[in-house]
Amino acid sequence: MANHSKSPTASTKITQLLSAALAIPGLGLASSAQAQSMPDAPIIRIRYADYDDYQSGKEDRISVQSPMVSITTPISETDVLEAGFTYDSVSGASPYYLSTLSGASGTGIHDNRRAGDVKLTHYFSDFSIGVGGRVSDEDDFLSRGGLVDAHIWTPDKNTTFTLGFSIDSDDISSTLQPDFSADRRTEGYLFGITQVLTENSIMQSNLSYTHASGYQSDPYKTLDNRPSTRDAWSLLSRYNLFFPEYEASLHVDYRFFIDSWGIKSHTLDVAWYQPVGNNWIVRPNVRYYSQCAAQFYEGNFPPVDFDTFYSADQRMGNFGSIGGGLKLIRELGRGFSADISFEAFLQDPNLKLGNGPENDVKDFYATFFSVGLTKKF
Q: 307 in a domain, yes or no?
A: yes
The total domain count for the chain is 1
| Greatest C-alpha distance within the chain | 72
Q: 100 in a domain, yes or no?
A: yes
Q: Give me the domain span that covers residue 338.
A: 8-376
Inter-residue contact 280 to 327 (CB < 8 Å): no
- The pLDDT of residue 188 is 97
359 by DSSP, 3-state: which? coil
Q: Which residues pair with 309 in a beta bridge?
A: none
CA distance 314 to 295: 13
314 by DSSP, 3-state: which? helix
Q: 33 in a domain, yes or no?
A: yes
Kindly list the distances between the CA atom of residue 362 and the CA atoms of 59, 288, 314, 318, in Å, as whole numbers in the listed order. 14, 18, 8, 10
- The pLDDT of residue 358 is 60
Q: 1 in a domain, yes or no?
A: no
> pLDDT tens digits, residue range 182-197?
999 999 999 999 999 9
Our measurement of the distance from residue 42's CA atom to the centroid of its chain's CA atoms, rounded to an integer in Å, reads: 23
Q: 61 in a domain, yes or no?
A: yes
Our measurement of the distance from residue 234's CA atom to the centroid of its chain's CA atoms, rounded to an integer in Å, reads: 13
Q: Does residue 19 carry a pLDDT above 90?
A: no
> pLDDT tens digits, residue range 277-327?
989 999 999 999 999 999 999 877 788 888 899 998 888 989 999 999 999
pTM (predicted TM-score): 0.86
CA distance 225 to 204: 37
| H runs (alpha helix) in the chain | 8-19
Q: 3 in a domain, yes or no?
A: no
322 by DSSP, 3-state: which? strand
> pLDDT tens digits, residue range 116-159?
999 999 999 999 999 999 999 998 999 999 999 999 999 998 99
Q: 110 in a domain, yes or no?
A: yes
Q: 212 in a domain, yes or no?
A: yes
* Parallel/antiparallel/unpaired status of strands 336-348 and 364-376: antiparallel
Please provide residue 357's backbone torsions phi and psi, each rounded to the nearest 5 degrees: -60, 140
Band (pLDDT 50/70/90 cuts) for residue 100 is very low
Residue 83 sits in a domain of what CATH number? 2.40.160.40
Kindly list the distances between the CA atom of residue 11 and the CA atoms of 1, 76, 329, in Å, as whole numbers in the listed order. 9, 27, 16
